[in-house]
Structure 1
Amino acid sequence: MSLKFRIPAGEKIVVNGAVLTNSSSKAMHFSLENDASIMRERDILLPENAETPLQNVYLFIQLMYIEPGSHEDHHKSFQDAAQIAFLSTTDNDERNLVFEVVGLVGEKNYYAALKLLQKHFKATLPPAEESAG
């Protein structure tokens, strides 16, 4: 079964590490017919925007997901970031989140780990930022 996407004009996506830009003035529709790592521009965290320990965890999972050729380097950085994120908080919910994310990464389920962190980030946004995003 294929995965169908609609990419608005000007938006970028990453497919297996390749950046694709919809350069037309109209939305692009396409179907992904096989397994691939895909991220929409709005879900990509740029290194300069990773400001918290959990955002650093997200960044390195994202890199493992979209750059599998550099997995070993990214995995080591992920391990360091996860340790820092765990040690930087005393909040049990955040510590449990780090444990869950580490488990998903151990299973190579990067997509689920990213979605879990996205859900956490959205839940912890102040109300004004949540409605703007």
Structure 2
Amino acid sequence: MKNTLRLSLKPNEKIYINGAVIRVDRKVSIELLNDVQFLLEGHVLQPEDASTPLRQLYFIVQVMLMNPQGADEARGMFRQSLPMLLASFEDEEILATLKQVDRMVVEGHVYEALKAIRSLYPLERIALDAGNANGDGPRASVAMGAH
């Protein structure tokens, strides 16, 4: 049996569970008794904040969790974006984690994939800063393609 997951939410906070948006009107604790896909409001990335390659990838994966009806399209975008990201980074930790993210997404562990991508943000910042200094780092548009 899976472990029970207990979450505490503040008044007016939202949680996204299996594509449903739930807002609580008062401080509340909830227990998730089975395996569900969820995302806390504080981890939701707004489109305008998807300004780096990894944040763009995060946004794509986030759509899989928040919008099950659009998950297939988001998976297609993920499949297109991941090889470009792997080709644009040299940092071994970033590359290894992106390969783990790929496995997690394939296995349906979307929340874990999001968590892994978030953990790479500091390394991405270093890589982007170094690339900008050299003029050859990853471009912010790499994950979403040329738009």
Is TM > 0.5 for Structure 1 vs Structure 2? yes
SS of 1:31 mapped into structure 2: strand
Segments of structure 2 that go 5 or more residues without pairing to the other structure are 127-147
- 1:4 touches 1:32 (CA, 8 Å); kept in 2? yes
1:22 to 1:125, Cα distance in 2 relative to 1, 3 A? farther
Deviates more, 1:27-36 or 1:75-84: 27-36
> Once the two structures are superposed, what CA deviation does each residue of 1:11-45 show, in whole Å capped at 9, x if it has no partner?
11111112122233xx1122223332111011111
Aligned partner of 1:40 in structure 2 is: 40
Shift of 1:124: 6.0
Write the letter of the residue equivalent to 1:98.
L
Taking the aligned partners of 1:16 and 1:51, their CA distance within structure 2 comes to 26
Aligned partner of 1:69 in structure 2 is: 69
- The reply to whether residue 116 of structure 1 matches residue 116 of structure 2 is yes
Aligned partner of 1:17 in structure 2 is: 19
1:58-97 aligned at under 5 Å gives the runs: 58-97=58-97
1:122 to 1:22, Cα distance in 2 relative to 1, 3 A? farther
- The percent identity for this pair of structures is 27
Give the TM-score, by structure 1 length. Answer: 0.78
- The reply to whether residue 6 of structure 1 matches residue 8 of structure 2 is yes
Greater than 3 Å deviation, 4+ residue runs: 122-126
Segments of structure 1 that go 5 or more residues without pairing to the other structure are 127-133
How many residues of Structure 1 are paired with residues of Structure 2 in the alignment?
124
Give the TM-score, by structure 2 length. Answer: 0.72
1:103 to 1:6, Cα distance in 2 relative to 1, 3 A? same
- 1:53 touches 1:81 (CA, 8 Å); kept in 2? no
Taking the aligned partners of 1:90 and 1:122, their CA distance within structure 2 comes to 15
Q: Name which structure has the greater RCO, CA cutoff 8 Å, separation 6+.
A: 2
Shift of 1:74: 0.7
Taking the aligned partners of 2:106 and 2:115, their CA distance within structure 1 comes to 15
